[in-house]
Amino acid sequence: MLAFSHQEYQNRLMKTKKKMLKKGIDVLLITNPANMNYLSGYNGWSFYVDQVLAVIVDEEQPIWIGRHMDANGARATTWLFESNIIPYPDTYIHSEKHPMEFVADILHQIGQSNRRIGLEMESYYFSALAYERLKQSLPNATFVDASLLVNHIRIIKSEQEIEYIKRAAKIVERGMDTAVAHIAEGVRECDVVAQIYKELITGTPEFGGDYPSIVPLLPSGENTSTPHLTWTDRQYQYGEMVIIELAGCHQRYHSPLARTVSIGQPSEEALEVSKIVIEGLNTALDAVKPGVTCEEVEMAWTNVIQKYGIEKESRVGYSMGLNYPPDWGEHTASIRRGDLTVLQPNMTFHLIPGLWFDDYGIEISESFRVTENGCEVLANYRRELIVKEDLDLTIIS
Amino acid sequence: MLAFSHQEYQNRLMKTKKKMLKKGIDVLLITNPANMNYLSGYNGWSFYVDQVLAVIVDEEQPIWIGRHMDANGARATTWLFESNIIPYPDTYIHSEKHPMEFVADILHQIGQSNRRIGLEMESYYFSALAYERLKQSLPNATFVDASLLVNHIRIIKSEQEIEYIKRAAKIVERGMDTAVAHIAEGVRECDVVAQIYKELITGTPEFGGDYPSIVPLLPSGENTSTPHLTWTDRQYQYGEMVIIELAGCHQRYHSPLARTVSIGQPSEEALEVSKIVIEGLNTALDAVKPGVTCEEVEMAWTNVIQKYGIEKESRVGYSMGLNYPPDWGEHTASIRRGDLTVLQPNMTFHLIPGLWFDDYGIEISESFRVTENGCEVLANYRRELIVKEDLDLTIIS
């Protein structure tokens, strides 16, 4: 049931320990579910309760500590020995006792309670309270922020990881096809998203789809200027623009993609703006190769839009791959001014240059892999402002 | 676009301020997206970045502070005045600067930086780092844990909230029907989940479906003893048991439901166990009425299973309603030993008594509303171990 070879997990663990040594960390308490998965294989929808993977620098195997009812899940999905799977009782769930007190007890019992302990201070599933309780329960430990330690190892993908991301790209092509096919005047937003979900989870006959870490985002009409609103049950109107942002997912690896659809002929202005976005996107993709910095890729985009007198504040891309809700980004490299991350082969990014105005916006994105001498775009999808005419209605079943 | 009347938001805010006064809190910094939604209406998939709703006890309106690109979303979904929507620039995203430093700056500018500040210490989206940066940036403030302050107000639902939960129940009936219809020998797990998602998001012709806060969970075969594993692309085998746990969702309000399906005739033992689960579930539902404690409802269940010589460790239910990923539970009342919460009309719970053994498990659940003199079960779905025979295959299109 493991998604990767035993050897690959060992390599990841070795790299992690190397970084721990460099930072003087004896025990790394991992709470980011993507990092738990990356090192142990653990995969379950259990991150809504406290759980930890403890990597001890001088111990062979990490220790999984989680809720009693999830221990079987750890047995089924990880490569860890039975003795390294330690469940806490349900009396710790949403009660006065905190699971981190149990974690502290275990560390105490195995002689790790007075060491230098690395914490993922910025993990979604390591709350301020978890931190306080852990500190109180381990008065002799020294705490070190190790927020993105494992994330930075994840930034360069193995061949097997690239394979999963490419499968996710095949799935997102299908999801986008379905979205484009169903968006039309008079159709409810929720009905379009229902069809997209069906496609993203079905996947292909060869490999199924996993749940993407972000729901399909399809802002339309005036809401295209509000990129993170989710769908409603209103009907699409003739003349509206719809931005579609999706990811395919396979074995928790993502391949995101965004396109903009115009229901009926777009305005001259929207058509012009979409051409600028595409020119900027193409120019930025052309700039990608090993040795170039993230900032330089962003500059390639900015140079294009400045030519047309446009300024944009947000970053235009980010490193992505393995993740759990609420985000498929890796929180390491960003394609923006000031990010001096040097591109290397098998880094994977979502490059999503959008231009939003007060009453509409256009996004056209690509996910790519850095190759030996350039970049490989992951999904194969027409790079244009997609126009849906009324007569398309007859084609949709 | 507001889901509730202005009056209802005002009532919620008034109750919140009353509790703040009682706890000596001057400023409540809300980071739990369900609580942000409850008080302001804010609804977007933007909780993967730091955002805050600040309720100041002596100010009329709360203040929304979030990412620049989400400010239009706040304008579209909240009842707040423009002046109370304060965006921070993108340079705070995944960088050295932290959004909580911006929040602290705002509090300083409006003269709130030396007051007693309540924090949701156990919110998923208030990280340990956010807490540290906030403390550092507000050296003159006093911090108070206000983790479940708003959650405890949410525990009793208004008529409009009940209406949304009932719509969610209508949706989950459809989702469960679809799950049962598609589960069969030789069908891939992902293909069943794809159909479920289509149904849950479509909703009904009258109202669309929203995204549930937990993905459909369908552990099968040996994995029924691992309740939180998600689907794969393996095919169902004849003779397997499948547990289906779903929720319908409308306007972010949930109605969860679980059933167990046997592909082919179940073993005598599984049939016996399912009868015990149903007897226990019915007995617990019969025990529900205002004035009874959560613990007493759990005891009704435990008395039944003990009669058959079974012990169970986990809690058997929890308060639920409005929420965002990763959980639809409210984290307040639990139906378990030691929980002395007194049931009151319009509390809503998911009662999910499961029995898991080493190689299989059975779950049959109901969501209910406490009424004036008993309980109202929300979804109308046959309460039995559902048996799928081979011949059913011909019925499925």
> Each residue of B209-260: pLDDT tens digit?
999 999 999 988 777 777 899 999 999 999 999 999 999 999 999 999 999 9
Over residues B292-314, mean pLDDT: 92
Longest dimension (CA), chain A: 72
Residues B167 and B134 in one domain: no
Tokens of B113: 């930086």
Q: How confident is the model at residue B107 (pLDDT cuts 50, 70, 90)?
A: very high
Over residues B60-71, mean pLDDT: 96
Residues A190 and A327 in one domain: yes
pLDDT at residue B323 in the model? 98
CB of A229 within 8 Å of a chain B CB? The answer is: yes
Tokens of B84: 């109370």
Of B120, B154, B188, the position where a domain reaches its end is B154
A314 to B145: CB separation less than 8 angstroms, yes or no: no
Over residues B287-298, mean pLDDT: 98
pLDDT at residue A313 in the model? 66
Q: How confident is the model at residue B100 (pLDDT cuts 50, 70, 90)?
A: very high
| 8 A C-beta contact, residue B310 and residue B393 | no
CB of B221 within 8 Å of a chain A CB? The answer is: no
Across chain A, mean pLDDT equals 95
Q: How far is B380 from chain A, CA to nearest CA, in Å?
A: 23
Contacts of residue B123 in chain A, CB cutoff 8 Å? 127-128
Q: How far is A337 from chain B, CA to nearest CA, in Å?
A: 9
pLDDT in tens, A122-167: 999 999 999 999 999 999 999 999 999 999 999 999 999 999 999 9
Over residues B350-358, mean pLDDT: 87
Query: Domain span at residue A318?
Result: 159-394
Integer CA distances (angstroms), A184 to A276, B47, B199, B202, in order: 25, 30, 20, 16
Of B154, B175, B199, the position where a domain reaches its end is B154
Residues A140 and A269 in one domain: no
**Core vs surface per residue B271-292: b (16+ CB within 10 A) or e:** eebbebbbebbbbbbebbbbeb
Decide if A235 is inside a domain. Answer: yes
B190 to A209: CB separation less than 8 angstroms, yes or no: yes
| Residues counted in chain B | 397
pLDDT at residue A96 in the model? 86
Q: Does pLDDT of B114 surpass 90? A: yes
- Which residue is listed with tokens 């997990």? A9
A210 to B198: CB separation less than 8 angstroms, yes or no: no
Q: In terms of Cα–Cα distance, which of A299, A380, A239, A117 is closest to B128?
A: A117
In angstroms, rounded to a whole number, what is the distance separating the alpha carbons of residues A286 and A269? 26
- Compute how many other C-beta atoms are within 10 angstroms of the C-beta atom of residue B213: 23
A190 to B202: CB separation less than 8 angstroms, yes or no: yes
Q: What percent of chain B has pLDDT over 90?
A: 89
Pairing of strands B366-370, B241-250: unpaired
| 8 A C-beta contact, residue A106 and residue A86 | yes
- Compute how many other C-beta atoms are within 10 angstroms of the C-beta atom of residue B147: 19
Which of B122, B202, B327 minimises the CB distance to A191?
A: B202
Decide if B136 is inside a domain. Answer: yes
Q: How confident is the model at residue B69 (pLDDT cuts 50, 70, 90)?
A: confident
Pairing of strands A375-377, A366-370: antiparallel
CB of B214 within 8 Å of a chain A CB? The answer is: yes
Q: Does pLDDT of A301 surpass 60? A: yes
Annotate B305-356 with three-state secondary structure.
Answer: HHHCCCCCCCCCEEEECECCCCCCEEEEEECCCCCCCECCCCEEEEECCEEE
- Compute how many other C-beta atoms are within 10 angstroms of the C-beta atom of residue B124: 23
CB of B40 within 8 Å of a chain A CB? The answer is: no
Decide if B148 is inside a domain. Answer: yes
Decide if A1 is inside a domain. Answer: no
CB of A44 within 8 Å of a chain B CB? The answer is: yes
Number of domains in chain A: 2
Provide the chain A residues 313-372 that lie in CB contact (below 8 A) with chain B: 313-315, 318, 325-327, 329, 331-332, 334, 336, 338, 356
Q: Considering only alpha carbons, which residue of chain A is nearest residue B192?
A: A202
Pairing of strands A142-145, A241-250: unpaired
B131 to A130: CB separation less than 8 angstroms, yes or no: no
- Which residue is listed with tokens 């507000």? B138
Q: Does pLDDT of B395 surpass 80? A: no
In angstroms, rounded to a whole number, what is the distance separating the alpha carbons of residues B268 and B165? 36
Burial of A173 (0-12, 13-18, 19+ CB in 10 A): buried
Residues A146 and A275 in one domain: no
Please report which helix (H) or strand (E) contains residue B273, including its range.
helix B268-287
In angstroms, rounded to a whole number, what is the distance separating the alpha carbons of residues A339 and A336? 6
Q: Considering only alpha carbons, which residue of chain A is nearest residue B213?
A: A325
Residues B163 and B212 in one domain: yes
pLDDT at residue A396 in the model? 45
CB of A143 within 8 Å of a chain B CB? The answer is: no
Residues B199 and B126 in one domain: no
Tokens of B26: 């001057």
A208 to B230: CB separation less than 8 angstroms, yes or no: no
In angstroms, rounded to a whole number, what is the distance separating the alpha carbons of residues A19 and A11? 13
Contacts of residue A222 in chain B, CB cutoff 8 Å? 76
Tokens of A177: 């096809």
CATH code at position A33: 3.40.350.10
pLDDT at residue A204 in the model? 98
Collect all residues with Cβ–Cβ distance below 8 Å to B14 and sequence separation of at least 6. none
Q: How confident is the model at residue A394 (pLDDT cuts 50, 70, 90)?
A: very low
DSSP characters over A264-300: SSPPHHHHHHHHHHHHHHHHHHHH--TT-BHHHHHHH
DSSP A326: T
Residues A102 and A167 in one domain: no
In angstroms, rounded to a whole number, what is the distance separating the alpha carbons of residues B252 and B45? 12
A222 CA to centre of own chain: 27
Residues B173 and B143 in one domain: no
Q: Does pLDDT of B394 surpass 80? A: no
B190 to A199: CB separation less than 8 angstroms, yes or no: no
Residues B143 and B167 in one domain: no
Of A133, A154, A175, the position where a domain reaches its end is A154
CB of B88 within 8 Å of a chain A CB? The answer is: no
Q: Does pLDDT of B391 surpass 60? A: no
B197 to A201: CB separation less than 8 angstroms, yes or no: yes
CATH code at position B216: 3.90.230.10
Task: Specify which residues B256 forms β-bridges with.
Answer: B247
Residues B140 and B174 in one domain: no
Q: In terms of Cα–Cα distance, which of B291, B281, B285 is closest to B343?
A: B291
Contacts of residue B215 in chain A, CB cutoff 8 Å? 45, 211
Residues B371 and B224 in one domain: yes
CB of A72 within 8 Å of a chain B CB? The answer is: yes
Please report which helix (H) or strand (E) contains residue A257, including its range.
strand A253-263
CB of B125 within 8 Å of a chain A CB? The answer is: yes
pLDDT at residue A390 in the model? 64
How many residue pairs from chains A and B have C-beta atoms closer than 8 A?
Answer: 219
In angstroms, rounded to a whole number, what is the distance separating the alpha carbons of residues B235 and B222? 13
Contacts of residue A203 in chain B, CB cutoff 8 Å? 190, 233
Q: How far is B14 from chain A, CA to nearest CA, in Å?
A: 26
**Which is more confident, B357 or B316?**
B316
CB of B272 within 8 Å of a chain A CB? The answer is: no
- Compute how many other C-beta atoms are within 10 angstroms of the C-beta atom of residue B346: 17
In angstroms, rounded to a whole number, what is the distance separating the alpha carbons of residues B327 and B218? 16
Q: Does pLDDT of B103 surpass 90? A: yes
A203 to B233: CB separation less than 8 angstroms, yes or no: yes
pLDDT in tens, A307-317: 999 987 668 99
Residues A147 and A163 in one domain: no
B119 to A128: CB separation less than 8 angstroms, yes or no: yes
Contacts of residue A217 in chain B, CB cutoff 8 Å? 45
pLDDT in tens, A9-21: 999 999 999 999 9
In angstroms, rounded to a whole number, what is the distance separating the alpha carbons of residues A36 and A85? 13
Decide if B331 is inside a domain. Answer: yes
pLDDT at residue A397 in the model? 41
B8 CA to centre of own chain: 21
